[in-house]
A and B are shown apart, each in its own frame.
Chain A
Amino acid sequence: QVQLVESGGGLVKPGGSLRLSCAASGFTFSDYYMSWIRQAPGKGLEWVSYISSSGSTIYYADSVKGRFTISRDNAKNSLYLQMNSLRAEDTAVYYCARGVAGYSSSWYEEWGQGTLVTVSS
């Protein structure tokens, strides 16, 4: 069965860095685009970043552009989010989510369980 398992969250001070990982299994990872989507405590969903199936196309939300870097390793079936210069407003549960094979933009069929990032001094 399809599984997306995030890891790497935790408590970090403002200005610090964190690297999130998402391990994928149960499907051909290299066929799907992936996104990171976050949810601040008690708030709604916010799309953060997108990477195409090959990794050649990348998008970021304006709120994280220049601070976050998305990447993937198709040989390891893994997705990453390098987060630098973290701010209090980056505090959220971060989900990795899978798009639809063959689409460059679609709904999200599968979601991980999320990993909590807390930015606080």
Chain B
Amino acid sequence: EIVMTQSPATLSVSPGERATLSCRASQSVSSNLAWYQQKPGQAPRLLIYGASTRATGIPARFSGSGSGTEFTLTISSLQSEDFAVYYCQQYNNWPHTFGQGTKLEIK
């Protein structure tokens, strides 16, 4: 099973600033990586797939990069609605595995 490790566990950032979230895979997943946003009491929402392609309706301030084992989600200018938990997920191999999440909180 591929282990996905996200860092940091919690990130405190001020509105308007940039946030950079990291995800590392225990072995190469090529570009088969997705990012999701989850707010309290809600289901996860797809943000990025293929490591860098924004899903439909996702604002341009969200961007993804990386391949192989190292990936990054960048939110260029944080809006109030962006404070949430973010998960990465690899779909290169079964079982699909998720990172443990990064909580993005208001500084």
Contact = CB atoms under 8 A, between A and B. Distances in A.
Nearest to A111: B43
Interface of A: 35, 44-47, 50, 59, 61-62, 95, 105-109, 111-114
B55 interface: yes
Q: For chain A, what secondary structure do more than half of its interface residues adopt (helix, strand, loop), or is it mixed?
A: loop
Interface residues of B, number: 24
A114 B36 CA distance: 16
Nearest to A100: B49
Contacts of B52: none
Interface in B68-89: 87, 89
A113 to B, nearest CB: 6
B55 to A, nearest CB: 7
Interface string B23-52: 000000000101010000011111001100
